[in-house]
Amino acid sequence: SSDQTIATPRRRLLITGVPPQKVIDRAEASFDVTLWREPTPIGARLAGEAQGHDAVLVMPGDKLDAACIGALPRSVQVLATYSVGFDHIDLAAATARRLPVFNTPDVLTESVADLALFLILAAARDTTSAERTLREGRWGPWAPTSMLGRSLQDQRLGIFGMGRIGQAIARRALAFGMQLHYHNRSRLPAEREAGAVFHDTLEGMLAQSDVLCICAPSTPELRNAVDARRVACLPRGAMVVNVARGDLVDEPALFAAVHEGRVGAIGFDVYRNEPRIDPRWLDLPHATLLPHIGSATTEVRTAMGMTALDGVESHFAGRPAANLLNP
């Protein structure tokens, strides 16, 4: 009869982690949502768990290589990642399978830049060692030469990668009185340079960097970009900060430089092989080490989820979306 309607089945979305509740609510308004709630990454179980799903939203710790993408069930029509970085996804393999992939640019830029400044300050003042001194009951009387760091004023900051995050770091560093240098694939228009001096080679910039801040994307060409030869270009005692990806750095080369005092202090948020990082990290002096928390604020993680969902929904609605990685 006329009052009977045929319910169209709702699309199904698999999310390989548990987002903030607001993101879950928004996802459930449009999709039948399956959440991977295990504390370990979904790993090889992705293909099986994705059976019957139309869309999959993955975490940056999920490795979607060509084999993994090839094994996805045919029901899956779209992928999104809960990250701006997409080095964990074989984009060519996804494109070959005609799978659009969406990421979460812009919304995390300012919070990652905040954390970069935190790490620059932590390295310059060696706050981790100072705090340890207090916590371990070793705090002695005030002395003119104890626990000395360096002022940021007039220090030269070398920004490796002047994308959205690099530019946000530059804006902050200017307020601290730092002198800015940058190396990027190409020179930026002057209005986006924040007064920074452009270097067309990484080596050239490193020679001018009291602090190196790594914020370039992890691409095959940039893997190991900061290797022994390049670390040796830094002025003696320079500081190194990384908020991008661990594989931009040759870690053993960095460890040697820190132990020899050629690198004076480091502030890292990212590593190779997270979360099972090389145990030698833990033996480094003058090191502030954070567990990949650049985007970890409630506001940003909510906004990242919404941006990923915008992408997935735009695909099904046939609307263009700016965060499509393989148009």
Residue 323: name the closest of 80, 30, 108 by CA.
Answer: 80
191 is catalytic: no
Q: How many CB atoms lie within 10 A of CB 132?
A: 11
Q: Check 292, 301, 313, 315 and give the catalytic one.
A: 292
CB 101 within 8 A of CB 326: yes
Single out the residue of 56, 76, 108, 325 in contact with ligand DGY (rule: CB under 6 A).
108
Residue 85 interacts with ligand DGY (CB under 6 A)? Answer: yes
Single out the residue of 17, 60, 149, 311 in contact with ligand DGY (rule: CB under 6 A).
60
Strand partners, 78: 55
Residue 325 interacts with ligand DGY (CB under 6 A)? Answer: no
Give min distance, CB of 168 to ligand DGY, in A.
14
171 is catalytic: no
CB 9 within 8 A of CB 28: no
26 is catalytic: no
- Contacting range for ligand DGY; rule: CB under 6 A; set: 66-74, 77-85, 223-231, 317-325: 77-85
Residue 84 interacts with ligand DGY (CB under 6 A)? Answer: yes
Residues 268-297 that bind ligand DGY (CB under 6 A): 294-295
Cα 302-246-306 angle, rounded to 5 deg? 15
CB 287 within 8 A of CB 239: no
SS3 letters across 114-162: HHHHHHHHHHHHCHHHHHHHHHCCCCCCCCCCCCCCCCCCCCEEEEECC
Residues 134-153 that bind ligand DGY (CB under 6 A): none
Give min distance, CB of 225 to ligand DGY, in A.
17
* Catalytic residue ranges: 245, 274, 292
Q: Which residues bind ligand DGY (CB under 6 A)?
A: 60, 83-85, 108, 294-295
